[in-house]
Structure 1
Amino acid sequence: MSMGLRDLAVQVSRIAADAGKHALNDQLMPKDLTVLSTAQRDYSNGLKVDDRLSQFIYNRLTYIDPFKGRWEDRTDEWAPGDRYWCVGGIDGVINYSRNMAEWTVTISLFEFNEFGSAQPILGVIHAPALNLTYLAARGQGSIRMRQTPIGEKREKIMPSTVSHLEGSVVSFGMSYIPQEAQHALNVVGSIAGKPADIKRIGPVSLDVCKVADGTYDAYFEPHLHERDVPAISAAAVVLWEAQGQLSTWNGDLVHWRSENDLVATNGQIIDELRPYLLDTHCPEPYHNNSNGDQQS
């Protein structure tokens, strides 16, 4: 008999914690930033810990249950109930390479439904430098675990109850690609003065989880790419299970095989926030390919 999703999530969180220790040790070692592609701002090129980390995690996951393999290796053949592990490298590589604390290790599990749409049903986000872990599984709620001087503290989380953009706290993310970054900043400029504060810390997995636990009231980012799927899918489960909302800017379901303009909210302020997202000029033509799996 296979284990339940709740127990599976706990086991996955232990793997993320072990992987995080290795990555944190690497972060604390002096590094030569010239080997990273800082001119192109692609810090992931040359960050060797990234590939080692994802391979370490996946190898450990296969001891629990390999399911159908990796999400990125799936084929066009599927059956209802087929499950795939989705493991990324470090989410927040710029923060990581610059010795900031806000970076995470993320793991999610996708499952195909009877309509051929694959959805994340389990998510773990571990921030080693913050001693912080979020985990969630379908139908089980969302948990935040923190290491304190007196031991581990586990808390069930829920979004804020702030009901207006005025007085809210909104976070945003942006790409290292200039036109995509400008799109995000154009939105920030348009809502300036409406929220009580606008945060830019990252990475996406942590920002979405901070909407889930009420730290932020909303988070938005344009042009999230396929490489962001491991981080977004893991955080999506945490947000959904905490009763928060996740969608594209125009309200569509999230596509797991294409680019997304993403917005996460407490469900209370989306109607006030969405016009600012939709009315903001994108610096160059941007086409969102709508083919692919959608959020249920």
Structure 2
Amino acid sequence: MSTSTYLETAVSAALAAGEFLRSHVGTALEVNEFAAHDIKLELDVRSQELITKHLLDRFPDHAIYGEEGIAGNQQSDFQWIVDPIDGTVNYFYGIPHYCISIALRERGEIIVGVIHDPSRHETWQVERGGTPTLNGKPIHVSTRNQLSDAVLSIGFAKSKETISAGLPVLDYFVSKARKCRLMGSAALDLAYVACGRYDAYIESSVSLWDVAAGKILVEAAGGKFEMKPRTDNPDKISVRASSGLLDLEVRP
């Protein structure tokens, strides 16, 4: 089956989940868990269930790996990587900066990526070997090559260790870049890098579902994506994505 078919299904699932989330904006939201720096909503689960049904109805032998659990055939060569609400805290507080992120991995290689922002009706999408687009228009990473002209997103994770790791990075770049932002959605940060709104995104600890779709988008748009597992938590990764034109090394 062609990657275009997979991409069309992923876009359809993301749009359906987006409409579902938009329909609940401003309503009383059921919280499954309050944590020190995070919130788990009942809608996270329902959004993933909607996406899972959409994908597995079309591809019943595929696997689902998402923030809210796994489903399908976990022995399959095809694994959908799903974040049903990236930016849940923003969503809960009524801040219109959240998204749905869906990627498809075939034997370890990401071949499809979709990021959908329901608030702004923006959809980024790409398939392996294809042209990345935002609402149907081709995108490319920024051509800015001076840090003083750049806008960077510096992400902070939720543990004491990762916050401590992130603060020196923010301190280093905040005086060197034009602006540093902390917006609360890793997937949208990567989408913004892919289309040139941001020049780089740096995060010390995220999950694969946060960045899988963004990885293929950034790379297809001409950018650079680096990630490595954290030594203290094998389920988390450190990420640095950029246009590839900036010096992003943190020096004493």
User: TM-score under structure 1 normalisation?
Assistant: 0.76
1:42 maps onto 2:34 in alignment:
no
The residue that corresponds to 2:26 in the other structure is 28
The residue that corresponds to 1:247 in the other structure is 226
Structure with greater strand share of residues: 2
Amino acid paired to 2:22: L
CA deviations over 1:201-221 (Å, ceiling 9, x no partner): 130000011000000111101
1:62 maps onto 2:62 in alignment:
no
Q: Is the 8 A contact 1:247 1:254 kept in 2?
A: no
Where 1:261 maps in the other structure, the secondary structure is strand
Q: Root-mean-square deviation (CA), in Å?
A: 2.3
Q: Distance in 1 between matches of 2:187 and 2:177?
A: 22
Amino acid paired to 1:59: K
Unaligned runs of 5+ in 2: none
Q: Give the deviation of 1:230 after TM superposition.
A: 1.6
Q: 1:61 to 1:32 in 2, by over 3 A?
A: closer
1:223 maps onto 2:205 in alignment:
yes
The residue that corresponds to 2:237 in the other structure is 260
Q: Distance in 2 between matches of 1:158 and 1:254?
A: 29
Q: What does residue range 1-296 of structure 1 map to in structure 2 within 5 Å?
A: 2=1, 4-31=2-29, 36-37=33-34, 40-44=36-40, 47-71=41-65, 72=70, 82-112=77-107, 118-145=108-135, 154-224=136-206, 228-248=207-227, 258-269=235-246, 272-276=247-251
Max Rg structure: 1
CA deviations over 1:18-65 (Å, ceiling 9, x no partner): 1111112223213477x7515x23301xx1001111111111112222
Q: Distance in 2 between matches of 1:178 and 1:97?
A: 23
Q: Is the 8 A contact 1:167 1:194 kept in 2?
A: no
Q: Distance in 2 between matches of 1:67 and 1:266?
A: 36
Identity of aligned residues (%): 23
User: TM-score under structure 2 normalisation?
Assistant: 0.89
Q: 1:32 to 1:138 in 2, by over 3 A?
A: closer
Q: Distance in 2 between matches of 1:254 and 1:175?
A: 12
Where 2:9 maps in the other structure, the secondary structure is helix
Q: Is the 8 A contact 1:67 1:85 kept in 2?
A: no
Where 2:39 maps in the other structure, the secondary structure is coil
Q: Give the deviation of 1:7 after TM superposition.
A: 3.6
Q: Give the deviation of 1:254 after TM superposition.
A: 10
Amino acid paired to 1:137: E
